[in-house]
Amino acid sequence: GAVVSQHPSWVICKSGTSVKIECRSLDFQATTMFWYRQFPKQSLMLMATSNEGSKATYEQGVEKDKFLINHASLTLSTLTVTSAHPEDSSFYICSARVASGFYNEQFFGPGTRLTVL
């Protein structure tokens, strides 16, 4: 149980285009989903936290107009990288939280490799 999927697993796009990444919790309902970015050989940096039905909370330094997050249902969150540029090339990972009492656990998707040419 507690499987999180991401689609696509990789995408290559031209500079200036927008890319949408989907994150789904397959066998559970996730009230909260998180989006991370990871540059090569570095750690995961939290970009934003999204709660179903409300606006996402972005971390400091993350442009909310560039990284649009929609958490329309308890099983789906999307991240849209608008007007992507080469510096946006990165590994994007989502996670979903299962609320189980006081100790909440997060389950991670397999990641999406974005390459902007």
Partner 1 sequence: SQQGEEDPQALSIQEGENATMNCSYKTSINNLQWYRQNSGRGLVHLILIRSNEREKHSGRLRVTLDTSKKSSSLLITASRAADTASYFCATALTGANSKLTFGKGITLSVRP
Q: Which residues bind partner 1 (CB under 8 A)?
A: 6, 32, 34, 42-46, 49, 91, 93, 95, 99, 102-111, 113
Residue 89's contacts (CB-CB under 8 Å, 6 or more residues apart) are 114, 115, 116
Nearer to partner 1, 10 or 18 (CB): 10
**Minimum CB–partner distance for residue 101 and partner 1 (Å):** 8
Nearer to partner 1, 74 or 82 (CB): 74
Question: What would the two tokens of residue 87 be?
Answer: 């510096």
**Minimum CB–partner distance for residue 66 and partner 1 (Å):** 21
Q: Give me the residues paired with residue 25 across strands.
A: 4
Nearer to partner 1, 27 or 83 (CB): 27
Nearer to partner 1, 82 or 92 (CB): 92
Q: Phi and psi for 3 in degrees, rounded to 5?
A: -100, 135
